[in-house]
A and B are shown apart, each in its own frame.
Chain A
Amino acid sequence: MAVLQAGGGVRRYYNINGWLFVAPALGLIGVFMVYPILWSLWMSFQTGKGLTTKFGGFANIIRLWNDPVFIKALSNTTIFFVIQVPIMLFLALIVAAALNNPKLWGRSFFRTAIFLPCVTSLVAYSVLFKSMFAADGVVNGALQALHIISSPIPWLTDPFWAKVLIIIAITWRWTGYNMIFYLSAMQNIDKSIYEAARIDGISARGRFLYITIPMLKPVILFTMVTSTIGTLQLFDEVYNFTEGKGGPSNETLTLSLYIYNLTFKFMPSFGYAATVSYVIVVMVALLAFLQFYATRERD
């Protein structure tokens, strides 16, 4: 009885504290995220150029279907996402596992080195990569010297290799970043669990599969969702490597780059740009839901 009576008080106490902890964040997000989002939702029903807009209903959605450039951007974005995210996260997990050995010599050196790429600024990164991957640049030179290829790879001028280069670049920049998440989560795992497992004779691989991975599940989910968002909103790399063109032949044009062009480069068409951005929203929401679902199922 006493417990039950206390129930209401506890709940109220919980509630007040709960709101107090989250209030500052919710206030800011409300003003600087939700309000602009609703605004852009409203804009997505407007048509017209620049400042002269009128209500267009679903005109922008119809325009999507008849826009070959949009279809191209959508398929490019999907290809980047499907290929790049698994490669990067797998690599990050392997590297983090290798680094999570206190006896490893040169551990902090490796960790620092692999994390370094994500501290570069956009400008540095694009200037560097363009020079390294030029037709007669250092990368082709090295590959030729090693007899891996016989003629230079046209990294930025061939539709296929341009996509490969973008994938290499994002993976270069963000693998270390994801690795740090895995590593810091691995270090939060209680060491005694490993000790116990070791005493029970479970192999290193078994400990990794049955202890590390399950304990890491929240973080893996986290990196999956953020990488999905990052890849579906891919902009920086393609914008800088292709001088904003998404070339060759629109083969690296992504949805975000197309939104940017519609907003800032082309005749301003904010309504249509907002509609394209909601396509990304729908895609990410669906994928995130799938990922949450997939990781929850095994509980």
Chain B
Amino acid sequence: MYYTVTSRLARVIGLAMGVSVLAVAAAQAKEITVWCWDPNFNVAIMKEAGERYQKTHPDVTLNIVDFAKLDVEQKLQTALSSGVTDALPDIVLIEDYGAQKYLQSFPGAFAALSDVVDYSGFAPYKVQLMTMDGKVYGMPFDSGVTGMYYRKDYLEQAGFKPEDMQGITWDRYIEIGKQIEAKTGKKMMGLDPNDAGLIRIMMQSGGQWYFDAEGKPNIVGNAALKAALETEGKLIAAGITKPATGWADWVGTFTSGDVASVITGVWITGTVKAQADQSNKWGVAPIPSLGIEGASNASNLGGSSWYVLESSAEKAEAIDMLNEIYAKDIDFYQKILQDRGAVGSLLAARGGAAYEAPDAFFGGEKVWQNFSDWLAKVPSVNYGVFTNEADAAVTAQLPALTKGTPVDEVLKAIDGEVSAQIQ
């Protein structure tokens, strides 16, 4: 009786082992699992990268799993916090604002790539945000370098030329906006009063962030943040903004032709160009400057990078794949620019044909060349670990700003909320 049970057990184990032998054989054709969001952008681009890498490494396949952005962050945070490492992928996409939060809260969870990757070729601000204790942890990917998209036809009706939009300050921008409204009845920009995106753009263009280089809150004495809040207050007071509720509504302000300009990250280009009937009506210029000391006409909004998990079974392959394609393949960057409108952060890529090409939609301007020029000028800041908290605090105070509360009081309120949140 005992004998038969054990022999049956042995047979079952044998069967199970047979299965696992098969599984091992399958695993030898290495599969790299990637988590990211946006099927038409990140997913498609990673697929392209995988296909390129496979040409030289036919044994490696990519398994790209596509979730919403918030969902990727939530799954990552759950798996890391619970320590269930087999629930993690090999590569994950992380938005730049959140990079330090993950690196510092979960030390040892991500693989340092600084021994393998040559970071000197990337936009410096991208490398800075993924550096911790002298080691660099990610592979810089798409950039959120900002630009000002404007309607040439509305400008012309109000008596302005494209040259009038180059390298201006926000005060000048408001002036132009008032005249455009007077002549055409169009607002200058769509603005979501519950979104701090524009504040972030302006603040980074002024070379500062919610936190200083040591990661300490930098709110009350932050000249760039103060100027940014003042500027947003002026924009609203001037009556040249069209209020939008949420992302889709905001996109609607310019796709419907209701506003004369859009100031945001380069990734919006695809949406702007999707309006075929607006071809030739758009131009792109650098964003306005805050006009304070150290302010520039370049900034960043969003953007994300790839990270390899330390627990990954295919760690070496994952790192090698990222390095071979994202750090070296110039042609890859031309392809993703053409197909997906993705501006990578490898500076050498701008020498390629796609970057040189004029864009008919923008009346033959070399818009990509311009964006990559601005990319190199984006000020490096320390996004720190509490950007989400600070952003929530700023968002909470925006309505007060709209009502005309003095900026210093708004700053104090933001500072109070941030201090309470980051203990």
Contacts and interface: CB of A to CB of B under 8 A. Distances in A.
Interface of A: 49-52, 63, 66-69, 127, 130-131, 133-135, 154-157, 159, 241-245, 247-250, 261, 263-268, 270
B255 interface: no
Contacts of B245: 130, 133-135, 154-157
Contacts, number: 107
Contacts of A263: 77
A-B pairs with lowest CB-CB distance, top 9: A50-B105, A247-B194, A156-B245, A249-B399, A264-B74, A250-B396, A134-B249, A248-B399, A157-B193
Interface in B400-423: 400, 416-417, 420-423
B386 interface: yes
B73 interface: yes
A249 B70 contact: no
9 contacts: A51-B83, A131-B248, A135-B245, A156-B245, A157-B245, A248-B193, A250-B392, A261-B388, A264-B73
Contact of A243 (B193, B247, B422): B247
A267 B81 contact: no
Given A130-B248, A134-B245, A156-B246, 7 more contacts: A66-B420, A157-B193, A157-B399, A242-B194, A247-B396, A261-B388, A266-B421
Contacts of B105: 49-52, 267-268
A183 B8 CA distance: 57
Contacts of B252: 134
A270 B193 contact: no
B347 interface: no
B311 to A, nearest CB: 13
B385 interface: yes
A145 B248 CA distance: 24
A214 B372 CA distance: 73
A268 B249 contact: no
A51 B104 CA distance: 10
Interface in B212-271: 243-249, 252
B51 interface: no
A67 B419 CA distance: 10
B395 interface: yes
Contacts of B246: 130, 134, 156, 241-243
A245 B392 contact: yes
A135 B243 contact: yes
Contacts of B400: 249
Contacts of B392: 69, 245, 250, 261, 266
A69 B420 contact: yes
B285 to A, nearest CB: 28
Given A69-B417, A130-B249, A263-B77, A159 B399 contact: yes
Contacts of A135: 243-245, 249
B398 interface: yes
A2 to B, nearest CB: 49
B421 A248 contact: no
A267 B386 contact: yes
A241 to B, nearest CB: 8
Interface in B73-93: 73-74, 77-78, 80-81, 83
Contacts of A265: 73, 388
A219 B244 CA distance: 43
B208 interface: no
Nearest to B391: A245
Contact of B243 (A66, A68, A154): A154
A160 to B, nearest CB: 11
A52 B109 CA distance: 13
A216 to B, nearest CB: 40
Nearest to A63: B423
